[in-house]
Structure 1
Amino acid sequence: MKKQKQQELPTPMLPKNISEYEHITQHSGYRDGDLVLGGFFPIYKLTHNSELHRKFFMSHPKESAYDWLDDRAYSYVLGFLFAIEEINRSPHLLPNMSLGFRLYNAYPNDVSTLKSTLDWLSEGEPPIPNYTCQKHTKSMAVTVALSSEFSMQTGALLELYRTPQIFCGSFDPLLGNKDQFSSLYQMAPSHTCLASGMVSLLVHFQWTWVSTLVPEDAKGERFIWDLRREMALKGVCMALTEKISVTKEIYKPEDLIFILRILDSSANVVIVYGDRSTSNALFFAADYHLTRHKLWITTSQREEIGLPLSLFLNTFHGSLVFTQQSSEIPGLKHFLRTVNPSKYPEDIFLSKLWLNHFNCCFPETFCGENSECPPNTSLASLPKPFVDMARMKSIQYLYDTVHLVAQALHEMIVIGGEEAGTLRDDRFPVWLLHQFLKHTLLENSTGEHVSLDENRHEMSRYDILNYLDFPEGFEFHVKVGELVSQGLHGHSLTIREKLIEWPIGFEEIPHSVCTKSCGLGFMKIPQEGQPSCCFDCILCPERGITNQTDSDQCTECPQSQYPNMERTRCLPKTVTFLAYQDPLGMALASTSLCFSVVTAMVLGVFVKYRDSPMVKANNRTLSYVLLLSLLLCFLCSLLFIGRPDTATCILSNISFAVIFTVAVSTVLAKTITVILAFMILRPGRIMRQLLVSGVVNLVVPICSLIQLIICGIWLGTSPPFINIDSSSEPRSIIIECNKGSVSAFYCVLGYLGFLALGAFSLAYLARNLPDTFNEAKFLTFSMLVFCSVWVTFLPVYNSTQGKVMVALEIFSILASSMGLLGCIFAPKCYVIFLRPHGNTSKGLKSKTYLRRI
């Protein structure tokens, strides 16, 4: 059996003056043992009511001190006592030794903190700094719950004696500085799962514009740093960051400027990293109804700092809270049902707790005028916080801490005690415990492995709760999601949106963005001097699309596609060329065929009436050549219609150049023939010989040969080819014939124009030659039409593209060909069919002309 060493203290009494009160706030309970653990807990709570604060120190303690006992903070004391009691009952852990405790109130005051620490180091004796008569001590380790500020204040003094300290609150990066706190350990692991999980929640609901409220300390700075890092990766921005002083406990209305800034912010979502300072400030603001119409996302630390949950629910209905999962501690509920002040008479605050809740007291405790409690009074019958403490993660950390220290003490005594020669009157050097604390691995009652290894990666699980406040004070919380940390591999988030009830003022999922999302077809343009979440939306450029919202840039459509009107998707472009099926192509082809038939008919008339004076007077050979060339001109226009290929591109351009050269050179030859026919009336034999010898007919082959040479050079240097133009028209792919060498093309047209201009000039000079039927006038008109068509063609041709350009070229071919056919041969057909008497030798006055012809 274990030894049970218990110091019988006098019956505790309430303090009668301030000095006695200060003593109680420092040293609130002691039970002796072979080894003693210290526990520092924020047993008292403060309020923002300055009048009550004054009464607390000035009035009789019996009237006011009871109101300051923090039930939730005292639940940690009960968890501490339960763990020690469990260890003392265990036959396998510290056998034949008892574990005692010394409890202190972690009052947030530098002077009180120093006094409490010195009292612990002096083991209850009058504190003398830096002096002790004993080299060995039974006071082995200090456990501190919740308040990292208190650990920092005590750490510097306890570090001088290398006293082990274990902090049971949430991980604080400043306490992890081993150069400053080499004897301090933290039970909670270090990880950024909470910050990354919160950002994942924001991304899930598309909340990209949020405010934050954090304490103004190292933990708050670390949380903001982690939060900003995750936000930067996920495209979320902070609209506002407010920091609350960790030293302020009393708030005045003028201190609420921070909450007013949050309310004025356009962000509807507020992230609160909770500790005592932020929660005090929020609850004070809630008294003025300044927390409505915002969605608050906070952490579970609020539950662990002694603040009533009902206050939170009454003013923060619909909020989302990340609370860390933990398994229920076996036996703790039974302990709550059996613990009472008679079991721990040395703990005056347990008696105060009974007075507060049951208005009674136990024998051997201070009762005053209060009646004795019935035997069935139990903390298990009380509502929160004691009902929930068996599942609180911080209580579990505290429970594991006490067991871990006991395990380390056990190993130190059993394994290292005799070898180190440290066993002396049941006293041990406290610094020896460090090497065992660092390497002790404990499997707690819930099956989890516990250690103080700084490099451990513990899998954390958070429940996401939706807190609800119903009429008549009915409170409820619903689990709406879960966050599971996977160590170095990130985390997973599960959300059940249908279970969430949103705060008052939001009938659906709240919107919290700086700028409304850019829709499909728009892209974001950052606003100068603003965070990335604040932007303007502009329509994608002509060839760009976006098929998702809030796109940073538009995607350009391929060359074979074009964007629709909404700029949301790419559509295939239509292949465009002058096809026979098009109305325009069909009309031009029909016109070409019709005039080809007309030209053939005129040729047939001239062949039929080849011996008539009219046909003979117009040089039958040149007339036949001109009609054949015009027939081919009409037919060559068909080469420009239809889907072009390399063969048709080359053939259409070369045939057009050569055939029109033959036609124009024939007109030039006919013009020269007319001039020579009238010049032979003058004396001299040269003109007569030129006319009779037929030298004029050589003009056609010579001029055509020159054009063939130019075309050969064109084909040899840069011939026409197929060109697929996908940029000229936004919705079409134009398949056209590229001229290849532009210089060669314009040389062909220039040479053709030179011939036409020469023929026009000669015909114009011979227009007034006397005769009943003056051929020179008709040649002049034909060349005038021809030149007018092609002079108009050039500037219009350069300003068009696609099938319109091809149609214009065909139209110019047809128009100029019709001009030649009509002006030259229409009058002759008129005479042949309608004025037959003019188609006789007598009808033509120029007998000499006929005779020479």
Structure 2
Amino acid sequence: MNLFVVLVFLMPLQVLNNSPTVQCFMRNLLPILHQYYHPGDLIIAGIMSQVRTFLNAITFEKHPSKELSDDHTFLTQTYQHIMALAFAVKEINENPQLLPNVTLGFHILNSHFSASWTYQASMELLSSQSRFIPNYKCDAENTPVGVIGGPTSNVCLHMTTILSIYKIPQIIYGSAPVMNDRTQAVFFHQMFPNGTHQYEGILQLLLHFRWIWVGVVSQDEENTERFVENVIPMFSERGICFDFIERFPKISFSSNVGDLMTEAFESFSILMQSSANAVVIHGEIHDTITFRLIPWGAEFVGMPMKSKVWVMTAQMEFTSLPFQRSLSIQFLHGALSFTTHSKEVLGFHRFLQMRNPNSEKEDGFIEDFWKQAFNCYFPKNGLEEMERKICTGEEKLETLPGSVFDISMTGFSYSIYNAIYAVAHTLHGMHLFRFNHLKLAVRERRRFLNIESWQLQRFLQSVYFNNSAGEPVYFNKNGEIVAAFDILNWVTFPNESFHRVRVGRMNPIGPSENVFTIQEDAIMWPSRFNQALPHSLCNDNCYPGYRRTKKEGEPFCCYDCLPCPEGKISNQNDMDDCFQCPENQYPNYNKDTCMPKSISFLSYEDPLGISLALFALAFSFITALVLGIFIKHKDTPIIKANNCSLTYSLLIALLLCFLCTLLFIGRPEKVVCILRQTAFGIIFSVAVSCILTKTTIVVVAFMATRPGSNMRKWVGKRLGTNMVLSCSFIQAAICIVWLATSPPFPDFDTHSMTEELVLECNEGSTIMFYCVLGYMGFLATVSFTVAFLARKLPDSFNEAKFITFSMLVFCSVWLSFVPTYLSTKGKYMVAVEIFSILSSSAGLLSCIFLPKCYIVLLRPDLNKREQLIRRNIK
């Protein structure tokens, strides 16, 4: 057959007509058995695949051409395509507003899903009605003004090879073929929307349901090869990975059913063993025949049939062979399929109900369709088949299960319906153009009926109309219909019928937020998922609180789950990494959410704060009491002997030390933060300076008692005052510099405590803070050293031994303060500093003043000059 096609286009017409070989070939050429011709003023042709031929082995026992027709079967589901074309022509002819006084006819030929039959059908359209002589027509009125082709891309490809030479417009309702010659593509228009939008819709569907571990089954054809090479990498870039990419065996003109099934079983085995619950099926309309063998194949290889969510492309439509009629379709329950957008057309159901093989003699398809749809036969020559019932012709199409024939208009049929109307509106527009511009009204009808098909091309490109369903129909600049894809959910029933429910849409011409829509609640899932959303993952999700890490040697969709490290969370499934909470929040126990941190500071409501405040007040009261005792007994010898002014200054400084701890309790404010450390540093410096001065005076007084000593001039009140003021002034200067350069300020510590936001006083300059502590430590060290050296001076009024012990306590407290302060966090740092202030101040108070108070209050007999002198002599 293909050899003949080559001869037609390589040899001149005269040679072809006179060639004995070609004439012999044409005489023996099998006629196209299934045709449907309806006369009209203008003819629209249709090359459609309705009948599939399967080739048995050639035995050479009879003419090979006869063996080609031995085994053919009618795909009952695709008969609706013919009905859609006939119905559209009928509507147009009954519409007085469209092509008035002109009737449309049609000529539909079967192409058997085969390249050779498609070539023959194309050339038959270029031949005389009575004789097959390509390129020769004596009845010009039967030349088609356009050709509707489909449903597979191969039919369209082989059809355009011939028809484009004659510049005949072709409107294809299947997927677009891969065109190597762009000049041919000029003459065809696609009723199938741009496939890129469909693939984007499939991707959005997978991502919406988080099906990232999927399988792909495609047909071994050029169109699906392009899908595997170009589309699958796009899916991978968006996070989809594939457990398997399998190919179903190719169904061709010479396919044998037994061989076909044998080749498919291996693919079935891989498919059933896969852990992927979502499988994308990419193929053409007839590939459903192979797809329906899945349950049979699973049973044949001894594997349990696992329900999966099949995601089918719009190129596919439900078709089956007669022997598959008894096969269950329950495995299709819950499937999702894309389809070209369709809408029920008023009157189409009624048109189908009126079909009757007894009255439709023009229809060369209806008899075979009727026999296979209703499993009956039409008796011929008085012969009867005992095992089958006789067809009456009165059977009703609506009684057939959906698996045999669907009376609801499918996407392909809707495309054919719109294609016929597109041609009709184009012809109508051409008629109006000629009538209005060429002013040939008298001869217009005759000239219009002799229209050349190539003239239709320019008008067809710009056609725009609303069909009877109220939807606009028009083509883009690439000759593709501008339309949406519907997403259908397959619901099957025990009687092997099914219903397809529209649950979503991929509409590239809509608003960006409505390009992809899906009604998840309306979807019926496969039975084994118990109406729960199926998951299709390589492994379980990494739930919040965990992060995923790639498995070595596995696809990127396969991963292990590791818990988030301390301080980090993950709040979604399958996060690649955990992240830190904001500074004012902290991870909860499960590390899957951030909790707001509570603001923490050492307050008076806090038990610790109350306790420290009570201690501070208690020590302040004791200090004030001691001061009162010393003032009351200021004339006693023991009080006079220890420099009253320095004693009073020291007690007042200690009182202020106890009271300054109250600045550390409560909510930190700006003024409070400035006063805290500076007041503490200056007051403590005054206290320590007083102690240093008292010790120094003891030493100077002892040295002044030696004969010929020059130290007498230093003895007096001036020495004490100057020492206290000078030592305190240095600390005050340090504090002034601190406040001038980087003063303390209220601040939130977000890092020290996990669950708390610590409100504290930021020191501003840590260096200046430690300078204050360091200077205070320097004074304490000097005081301790001087007191230690003077502790054994022979003087009854010598209090150096008490000062030595008190400074030992003081230094011990502050030496332990630094590491303790640095190791604690939050409000406990403030508590450590308060405790250090209280304990060191209490140490000074108790070690220096309690022995004197004991003598003053409890042993007044010892507080006499004579007693003190006696003790000194001893």
Relative to the length of structure 1, the TM-score reads 0.80
Q: 2:306 pairs with 292, 301, 306, which one?
A: 292
Contact 2:601 2:759 in 1 (8 A): yes
Q: Per the alignment, do residues 263 and 604 of structure 1 end up closer, same or farther by CA in structure 2, a change over 3 Å counting? A: same
**Partner in structure 2 of residue 4 of structure 1:** none
Q: Per the alignment, do residues 109 and 54 of structure 1 end up closer, same or farther by CA in structure 2, a change over 3 Å counting? A: farther
**1:161 aligned to 2:185?**
no
SS in 2 for 1:467: strand
SS in 2 for 1:595: helix
Cα separation, 1, equivalents of 2:422 and 2:731 = 107
**Partner in structure 1 of residue 9 of structure 2:** none
User: Structure 1, residues 335-376: CA drift from partner, whole Å, max 9, x if none?
Assistant: 7646436753794x65555666575547xx766557997876
**Partner in structure 2 of residue 316 of structure 1:** 332
Q: 2:616 pairs with 587, 592, 604, which one?
A: 592
Q: Per the alignment, do residues 101 and 754 of structure 1 end up closer, same or farther by CA in structure 2, a change over 3 Å counting? A: closer
User: Structure 1, residues 617-645: CA drift from partner, whole Å, max 9, x if none?
Assistant: 33444333333333333333333333333
Aligned residue type for 2:618: C
User: Structure 1, residues 779-834: CA drift from partner, whole Å, max 9, x if none?
Assistant: 32223222222233333334444433333233223322232232233333333444
**Partner in structure 1 of residue 73 of structure 2:** 68
**Partner in structure 2 of residue 790 of structure 1:** 814
**Partner in structure 1 of residue 509 of structure 2:** 487
**1:821 aligned to 2:857?**
no
- Matching of residues 487-526 of structure 1 within 5 Å: 487-489=509-511, 490-491=514-515, 493=517, 495=519, 497=521, 500=524, 502-504=526-528, 506=530, 508-521=532-545
Cα separation, 2, equivalents of 1:121 and 1:626 = 125
Shift of 1:726: 2.9
Q: Number of paired residues? A: 824
SS in 2 for 1:511: coil
Cα separation, 1, equivalents of 2:740 and 2:92 = 105
Q: Per the alignment, do residues 815 and 56 of structure 1 end up closer, same or farther by CA in structure 2, a change over 3 Å counting? A: farther
Q: Per the alignment, do residues 183 and 389 of structure 1 end up closer, same or farther by CA in structure 2, a change over 3 Å counting? A: farther
SS in 1 for 2:759: strand
Shift of 1:280: 2.9
Aligned residue type for 1:388: D
- Matching of residues 167-566 of structure 1 within 5 Å: 167=172, 169-172=173-176, 174=178, 178-190=182-194, 194-195=198-199, 198=202, 201-202=205-206, 205-217=209-221, 219-220=223-224, 239-244=243-248, 246-248=250-252, 249-250=255-256, 251-276=260-285, 278-289=287-298, 292-298=306-312, 302-303=316-317, 305=319, 310=325, 311=327, 313-322=329-338, 324-328=341-345, 330=347, 333=350, 337=354, 339-340=356-357, 344=361, 347=364, 350-353=366-369, 357=374, 361=378, 368=383, 377=394, 380=397, 383=400, 388-389=406-407, 391-399=409-417, 401-402=419-420, 405=423, 415=434, 429-435=452-458, 437-438=460-461, 458-460=482-484, 462=486, 464-470=488-494, 473-477=495-499, 479=501, 481=503, 483=505, 485=507, 487-489=509-511, 490-491=514-515, 493=517, 495=519, 497=521, 500=524, 502-504=526-528, 506=530, 508-521=532-545, 549=573, 557-566=581-590
Cα separation, 2, equivalents of 1:43 and 1:659 = 106
Shift of 1:258: 3.1
SS in 2 for 1:643: coil
**Partner in structure 2 of residue 640 of structure 1:** 664
Contact 1:292 1:316 in 2 (8 A): no
Q: Which moved more, 1:100-109 or 1:270-279?
A: 100-109
SS in 2 for 1:813: helix
Cα separation, 1, equivalents of 2:694 and 2:349 = 126
Cα separation, 1, equivalents of 2:771 and 2:84 = 105
Cα separation, 1, equivalents of 2:47 and 2:861 = 140
Cα separation, 2, equivalents of 1:187 and 1:750 = 89
**1:779 aligned to 2:810?**
no
Q: Per the alignment, do residues 40 and 786 of structure 1 end up closer, same or farther by CA in structure 2, a change over 3 Å counting? A: closer
**1:121 aligned to 2:126?**
yes
Contact 1:359 1:370 in 2 (8 A): no
Shift of 1:691: 4.0
Q: Per the alignment, do residues 336 and 815 of structure 1 end up closer, same or farther by CA in structure 2, a change over 3 Å counting? A: closer
Shift of 1:149: 0.6
Q: Which moved more, 1:498-507 or 1:583-592?
A: 498-507
SS in 1 for 2:276: coil
User: Structure 1, residues 526-548: CA drift from partner, whole Å, max 9, x if none?
Assistant: 77887775555555666655655
Aligned residue type for 2:342: Q
Shift of 1:152: 1.1
User: Structure 1, residues 256-284: CA drift from partner, whole Å, max 9, x if none?
Assistant: 33333333333212232442453232123
Cα separation, 2, equivalents of 1:788 and 1:847 = 32
Contact 1:196 1:230 in 2 (8 A): no
Contact 2:213 2:240 in 1 (8 A): yes
Shift of 1:296: 1.9
Cα separation, 1, equivalents of 2:427 and 2:468 = 18
Cα separation, 1, equivalents of 2:471 and 2:681 = 95
Aligned residue type for 2:289: N
**Partner in structure 1 of residue 19 of structure 2:** none
Query: Gapped runs of 5+ residues in structure 1?
Result: 1-17
Q: 2:793 pairs with 769, 792, 798, which one?
A: 769
Relative to the length of structure 2, the TM-score reads 0.78
Q: Which moved more, 1:443-452 or 1:112-121?
A: 443-452
Cα separation, 1, equivalents of 2:517 and 2:283 = 21
- Matching of residues 87-166 of structure 1 within 5 Å: 104-123=109-128, 132=136, 138-140=142-144, 141-166=146-171
**Partner in structure 1 of residue 52 of structure 2:** 45
Contact 2:170 2:188 in 1 (8 A): yes
Contact 1:841 1:847 in 2 (8 A): no
Shift of 1:155: 1.7
Shift of 1:146: 1.3
Contact 1:519 1:548 in 2 (8 A): yes
Cα separation, 2, equivalents of 1:89 and 1:775 = 130
SS in 2 for 1:487: coil
Shift of 1:23: 0.7
User: Structure 1, residues 748-793: CA drift from partner, whole Å, max 9, x if none?
Assistant: 4333333333333333223333466753322322232222222333
Q: Identity over aligned residues, as a percent?
A: 34
Cα separation, 2, equivalents of 1:124 and 1:522 = 74
Query: Gapped runs of 5+ residues in structure 2?
Result: 1-24, 300-304
Contact 1:37 1:101 in 2 (8 A): yes
Contact 2:475 2:482 in 1 (8 A): no
Aligned residue type for 2:218: V
Cα separation, 1, equivalents of 2:773 and 2:604 = 27
Shift of 1:106: 0.9
Cα separation, 1, equivalents of 2:717 and 2:103 = 148
**Partner in structure 2 of residue 683 of structure 1:** 707
Contact 1:267 1:513 in 2 (8 A): yes
**Partner in structure 1 of residue 30 of structure 2:** 23
Q: Which moved more, 1:720-729 or 1:410-419?
A: 410-419
- Max Rg structure: 1
Shift of 1:91: 8.5
**Partner in structure 2 of residue 625 of structure 1:** 649
Aligned residue type for 2:163: L
RMSD across aligned positions (CA): 4.9
Shift of 1:221: 6.0
Shift of 1:404: 5.4
Cα separation, 2, equivalents of 1:426 and 1:847 = 150
Shift of 1:510: 2.0
Q: Per the alignment, do residues 846 and 685 of structure 1 end up closer, same or farther by CA in structure 2, a change over 3 Å counting? A: farther
Cα separation, 1, equivalents of 2:284 and 2:572 = 40
Contact 2:268 2:297 in 1 (8 A): no
